[in-house]
C-alpha cells in the first residue's frame, strides 16, 4: 500500500475523528473515551467523533486514507500507518510508572495452562521447541504484542533449526507449517480466553489488556513461570473461565501504544494544541482518563504512580520496526 498517499485530498475540518481499536471500543471504556473527547473539544473548540471498530486493519486504513485525525493504536499499527501515509505522526505515548518514556513498555506473553505446563518444559525449563505442532492463539495479525512481537521471537527461535530455516511470519498465520492450528482471538482478551477454555494450547497476549481480570497467584509479575489466576468476579469475557490459571512461558517487553495523528487531516495547529493538552498535568491528573488503579473502575489508562502522556519521536518505534522486517 505504498502508493496510497494520493488517496483523496485531505482537508482540515472542524470535526476531530478518533479511531479506536476493538480492544478500546467496548462500552466499559466509554467513560474514558468520552472524557478524552471532552478535553479535546475544550482545548480545540472542535467536535469530537469516536469511531469504534471491529478490526485492526480498518482502523489503520482509516488513518492512512485521511479519514480520521487521531487513532489510538499499537506500535505495529502505527508503523503500518506510517508506511501507508507519511503524514501519520505519533502524538503522545502513555508513559510507565516513572512518567517517562524509559519504562513506557508493557509485556507480551506466551502463556500456557498451568495444568499442562510440564508439556512445555524441557529439563524443567520452558522451551519454545515444545510449541511446534500445537494449537496457537494470536490476537490479530496487526497487533504488536499479540502477533508481531511473539511471532518474531518464535521465528528467531525456530529459524535457527534446519527444519524451520525458511519459516517466515506468514507461515505462522495458518495451521500447517509450524502449528497444528492458528487461532486469532480478535482481542487480547479473546486470545487469553482461547487458551483458558481449551481451544488453544498456547496463547499470545499482553499484560495490561488482561490485568483487570487476573491476579498473580505465584511468582513475580511479568516473569517467566509466574502463575496468574482469573478473578472469581472477573467480567466478561473471563466470566466463563473464572478460577482458571495460566503460566507464562515467555515474556517480552513491548513499546507502549501511541496516539497517532494524521497531520494532513488534523492540521499542525491542532496537533500542537493537542500535544500540549495531552502532556499537561491536568490530563495526567484527570481521574477519568488515568483511572486510579485501586478504584476498581474500568478505564483506558491506569495510574499507580506517575503515569502520564509523554511525547515520542517516530524513531522511538524503530525496535518494533526491526522485528517485522
Partner 1 sequence: MEAGRTNDLPYIKRTKDGRINIKSGNKIDLVVKWTLIILSILTVMAFFFFNYIGLQWDRAIPETAHNLRVMFLEPALNHFSWGEAFYQVGITVGLGVLATVIGAVIALFLALMAAENLSRPWISKSIRAVVAVIRAVPTVLWVLIFAIAAGLGSEAAVLGMLFHSTAYLVKAFSEAFEEVDAGILEALRATGANWWHVVTHGVLPSTFTYILSWVFLRFEINFGVAVAMGAAAGAGGIGFELFMASGFYFDLREVGFITYAILIIAVVLEIISTQLKNRYFPASTNN
Partner 2 sequence: MNEKKMRKSRMQTVVFLLIIIIVTYLSAAITEFNFLDGLATIPKALGWMAGNLLITAETLERLPAIMEKLLETIFMSIAATTIAAILSIFLGLMGSKTTKVNNIFSIFARLIASISRNIPVVAWSLILLISFGQNSVTGFLALFVGTLGFLTRAFIESIDEASQDAVEALQATGATYFQIVNKAVIPQSLPQMLSWILFMIETNIRSATLVGILTGTGIGYTFDLYYKSLNYNAVALVTITIVIAVLIIDSISNRIRRVIL
Binding residues for partner 2 (CB under 8 A): 1, 3-4, 6-8, 55-57, 60-61, 65, 80, 84, 140-142, 170, 173-174, 181, 183-184, 199
3-state secondary structure string across 153-200: HHHHHHCCCHHHCCCCHHHHHCCCCCCCEEEECCCHHHHHHHHHCCCC
x/- binding map, residues 135-174, to partner 1, per CB under 8 A?
x---------------------------------------
Residue 315 interacts with which of partner 1, partner 2, none, CB < 5 to 8 Å by class: none
Cell 515474556, located at residue:
251
Neighbours of 242 (CB within 10 A): 14
Residue 89 interacts with which of partner 2, partner 1, none, CB < 5 to 8 Å by class: none
Write the CA distances from 190 to 146, 200, 233, integer angstroms.
11, 11, 17
x/- binding map, residues 213-252, to partner 1, per CB under 8 A?
----------------------xxx-xx------------
Query: 176 and 164 in contact (C-beta within 8 Å)?
Result: no
Cis peptide before 237 (omega within 30 of 0): yes
CB 53, min distance to partner 1, A: 6
Among positions 68, 91, 131, 312, the unique one binding partner 1 when judged by CB under 8 A:
68
Residue 202 interacts with which of partner 2, partner 1, none, CB < 5 to 8 Å by class: none
Query: 43 and 273 in contact (C-beta within 8 Å)?
Result: yes
Cell 505465584, located at residue:
218
Contacts of partner 1 in 6-25 (CB under 8 A)? 7-8, 17, 19, 22, 25
Distance CA 176, CA 168 (A): 13
Interface residues with partner 1 (CB under 8 A)? 7-8, 17, 19, 22, 25-28, 51-55, 58, 61-62, 65, 67-68, 135, 175, 180-181, 183, 186-187, 189-190, 193, 198-199, 235-237, 239-240
Amino acid at each position: 500500500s505504498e502508493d496510497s498517499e494520493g488517496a483523496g485530498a485531505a482537508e482540515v475540518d472542524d470535526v476531530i475523528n478518533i479511531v479506536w481499536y476493538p480492544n478500546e471500543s467496548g462500552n466499559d471504556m466509554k467513560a474514558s473515551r468520552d472524557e478524552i473527547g471532552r478535553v479535546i473539544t475544550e482545548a480545540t473548540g472542535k467536535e469530537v467523533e469516536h469511531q469504534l471498530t471491529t478490526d485492526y486493519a480498518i482502523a489503520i486504513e482509516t488513518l492512512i486514507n485521511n479519514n480520521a485525525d487521531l487513532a489510538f493504536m499499537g506500535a505495529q499499527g502505527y508503523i503500518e500507518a506510517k508506511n501507508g501515509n507519511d503524514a501519520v505522526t505519533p502524538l503522545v505515548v502513555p508513559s510507565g510508572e516513572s512518567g517517562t518514556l524509559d519504562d513506557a513498555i508493557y509485556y507480551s506473553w506466551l502463556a500456557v495452562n498451568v495444568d499442562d505446563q510440564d508439556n512445555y518444559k524441557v529439563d524443567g525449563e520452558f522451551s519454545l521447541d515444545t510449541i511446534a505442532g500445537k494449537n496457537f492463539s494470536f490476537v490479530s495479525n496487526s497487533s504488536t504484542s499479540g502477533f508481531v512481537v511473539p511471532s518474531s521471537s518464535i521465528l528467531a527461535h525456530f529459524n535457527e533449526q534446519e527444519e524451520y530455516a525458511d519459516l517466515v511470519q506468514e507461515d505462522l498465520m495458518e495451521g500447517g507449517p509450524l502449528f497444528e492450528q492458528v487461532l486469532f482471538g480478535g482481542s487480547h482478551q479473546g486470545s487469553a480466553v482461547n487458551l483458558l477454555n481449551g481451544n488453544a494450547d498456547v496463547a499470545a497476549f499482553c499484560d495490561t489488556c488482561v490485568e483487570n481480570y487476573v491476579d498473580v497467584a505465584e511468582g513475580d509479575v511479568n516473569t517467566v513461570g509466574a502463575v496468574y489466576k482469573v478473578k472469581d468476579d472477573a467480567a466478561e469475557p473471563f466470566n466463563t473461565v473464572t478460577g482458571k490459571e495460566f503460566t507464562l512461558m515467555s515474556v517480552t517487553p513491548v513499546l507502549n501504544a501511541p496516539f497517532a495523528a494524521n497531520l494532513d487531516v488534523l492540521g499542525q495547529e491542532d496537533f500542537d494544541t493537542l500535544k500540549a493538552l495531552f502532556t499537561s498535568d491536568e490530563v495526567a491528573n484527570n481521574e477519568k482518563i488515568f483511572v486510579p488503579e485501586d478504584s476498581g473502575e474500568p478505564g483506558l489508562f491506569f495510574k499507580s504512580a506517575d503515569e502520564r502522556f509523554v511525547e515520542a519521536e517516530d524513531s522511538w518505534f524503530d525496535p518494533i520496526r526491526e522485528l517485522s522486517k
